[in-house]
Structure 1
Amino acid sequence: MPARDSIDRHIAYWRAEVPGLDPDVEGVVTRMQMLVRHLQRRRTEALGELGLLSWEYDILWQLRAAGPPYQVTPTALAIALDTHPATLTHRLDRLTRAGLVERARDRADRRSVVVVLTDQGHRAWESAIGSQADAEGLLLAPLSESERRTLVRLLRKVVLASEKDGTELMVVPRSVQRPEH
């Protein structure tokens, strides 16, 4: 019998309370939820060590994802981050004071303003993404390369079924999309 984890104990408890509980479904869904929470805690800790908050990283990520010249309009950022424009303005002010972003006139339309990732912002993003990659690598370290590929294949199957209605679970802004290879 394989070792029991905390989710097995959770399922054992709830099976007594909910007789029709499917232990496989509950096991998969609860494990995914708990692993996401675990990664979110690690992300918050790692970002804190770098002096960043989660929302600051999210803005840097959006700018980096835009590709060279790493600039996006405030409106596009607000939409991508699902943030009220006034909230975004406050956050951009803070990031500007920290030297991570700057506002500039759009070269294509001098009436428009763009948010630009600074060199310091690039370095902060690279440090943060490195910390995240380390945490994710540690999380999946118990799996062999073959097991990882199997897990990816199985999760992709679940995501594709979830996206069947046309609603993507992860939306990449059109301005950020790059051709697939």
Structure 2
Amino acid sequence: MDGAVEERQDHVDRLRAQWARELPDLDTSPMAVIGRARRITLRLRPGIEAVFARHGLDAGEFDVISTLLRSGEPWQLTPTALYQTLMISSGGLTARLNRLEAAGLIRRREAQEDRRSLLVELTETGRAKAEAAFREDMALERRLLSGLDAAEQAELARLLTRLALSLES
């Protein structure tokens, strides 16, 4: 990586320097990772949410229809499978499903094998919208990562995976 870039200080470096001055005995190295991850997330969120908004969706609605799309044909799941995958409450999911159904992006129907159970299914319009929004999101994310070369992106992804797995266990 370019030496000039590495010598520059970011916001987290400045915060750590202030903490080192005020509490010199405290190790602030976790901020180098966690603080940056938080700041990166906060900076990226508006652009990503703007992509979804251009498709008439909020992030939660996109989560639902993209989950259905990536589940594969016939692009349907039970509400229980959806809220477990999305890690939200059943009440939160119901509100999202109501909005998506009103917009014609999903439909709820009885499961063939168990008439007491419901399935949530993407409509053709929902599939097209989910795919278009996801394609635009991936193009944006590719541009956002352009400051790192392919090897750096792969190494960062590997390290983040390790961190994520350690936090999940």
Q: TM-score, normalised by structure 1?
A: 0.79
What's 1:121 paired with? Answer: 126
Relative distance call for 1:75 and 1:123 in structure 2 (3 A) is same
Distance 2:86 2:158 in 1: 28
Distance 2:93 2:164 in 1: 30
Q: Does 1:56 align with 2:61?
A: yes
What's 2:151 paired with? Answer: 146
What aligned pairs does 1:82-121 form with structure 2 within 5 A after superposition? Answer: 82-121=87-126
Distance 1:156 1:88 in 2: 27
What's 2:30 paired with? Answer: 25
What is the identity, as a one-letter code, of the residue corresponding to 2:27?
D
Q: Does 1:137 align with 2:109?
A: no
By how many angstroms is 1:83 displaced?
A: 3.5
Distance 1:144 1:78 in 2: 36
By how many angstroms is 1:96 displaced?
A: 0.9
Structure 1 stretch displaced more, 11-20 or 132-141: 11-20
RMSD: 2.1
By how many angstroms is 1:23 displaced?
A: 4.7
Contact 2:77 2:120 in 1 (8 A): yes
Q: Does 1:38 align with 2:43?
A: yes
Aligned length: 164
What's 1:174 paired with? Answer: none
Q: Report which of the two has the higher share of helix.
A: 2
CA displacement, residues 5-34 of structure 1 (integer Å, 9 cap, x when unaligned)? 222222222222332343543222211111
Gaps spanning 5+ residues in structure 2: where? Answer: none
Distance 2:159 2:94 in 1: 41
Partner residue of 1:159 out of 152, 155, 164: 164
Distance 2:105 2:111 in 1: 18
Q: Percent identity?
A: 35
By how many angstroms is 1:111 displaced?
A: 3.3
Distance 1:153 1:88 in 2: 32
Q: TM-score, normalised by structure 2?
A: 0.83
Gaps spanning 5+ residues in structure 1: where? Answer: 167-181
* Counterpart secondary structure, 1:116: strand
What's 2:84 paired with? Answer: 79
* Counterpart secondary structure, 1:110: coil
Relative distance call for 1:130 and 1:21 in structure 2 (3 A) is farther
CA displacement, residues 130-173 of structure 1 (integer Å, 9 cap, x when unaligned)? 2221222122101111212222232233334334xx3xxxxxxx
